Structure 1
């Protein structure tokens, strides 16, 4: 009996599907056949990967067409708003790129150094790795300015110290200074790219989360990044 019902349901479904298709075709207007034109392929928004050879050219061009300077990071603890500096144009353009390409949405604050910094721009998500590969493999020429120092609330880019005499920045990993006295031992060593204009209380809450031996939070603190203006 169950086999008979199963066959009946299957046949009914096939009949219904065929009837729906026929009905749809009958209601379509008659189309005049025309010679097909060759389709113009749509250009993807991002086609060229950034490398150390073209990084200045690529980020300069991107910055000229994307002049936004204010970014909001939304976390489970609240929102952090950041103003990026025009004095560091390559870094500003790169950070805006990370927001618009949804890279930061796949990352978390993966390092929490108590009383010092919260560092974001990395995670173990596969989607993050995919977006990173599409953006490219490169570092950013340093844009260290004497007047841009590591004050409380400053935002700066991480970098590798070994074999990096020119202090080129990581394009993906950034940190926020949560030391009330500032972290001035880093002045001249890292490019400061902006500062927090709202939400330092959120940054301080994140700095209090429980971490493991590597300063990685035991519960991931993910973020969503959006352009304010």
Structure 2
């Protein structure tokens, strides 16, 4: 497997990425971290996806990791630049965690998997305080608390019976995320919405059950 760094450029932005390319691949995967995360934290997931036969791009969107741009509501532009780059290699699936899961689901990719996706436009005060305390210091942003504006302004994903979009969440996830995912389970009965037993919001991307469910879903997408 070939592993290398790459800066993806387009529409005036530059997206740092780590690209994992197996000898043969059947599609392209983009791994998007959550708020305060980075591509480096998602390399375990990226490697498992690449092993399953996908040219895989782990990326840093604006304000995160090696991306020097300020974090704002235009993070979706960063993802779309990477998607457009990847379409030259085949069909594209985006796999995103938390905020990354939300933008994955609303993106123009052929397929998407949202892991503990932050689908709410508002979260409780305690959840927001925890997010700001535990994650904000890792983000390059113009002012404190901009995450509230971003969550409110990014388009909301409406999950209907869609065989090109899937959700994975944890049984011990953020309460608001659990509530939204369970509601989608009731209204989109033919879609893939999987609960990972005992998974927390911050560790779900490291669990074997999550890896297995992602690989299984990729098999459905690319059968």
Normalised TM-score (structure 2): 0.29
More helix by share: 2
Higher RCO, Cα 8 Å, sep 6+: 1
Normalised TM-score (structure 1): 0.28
Greater C-alpha radius of gyration = 1
More strand by share: 2
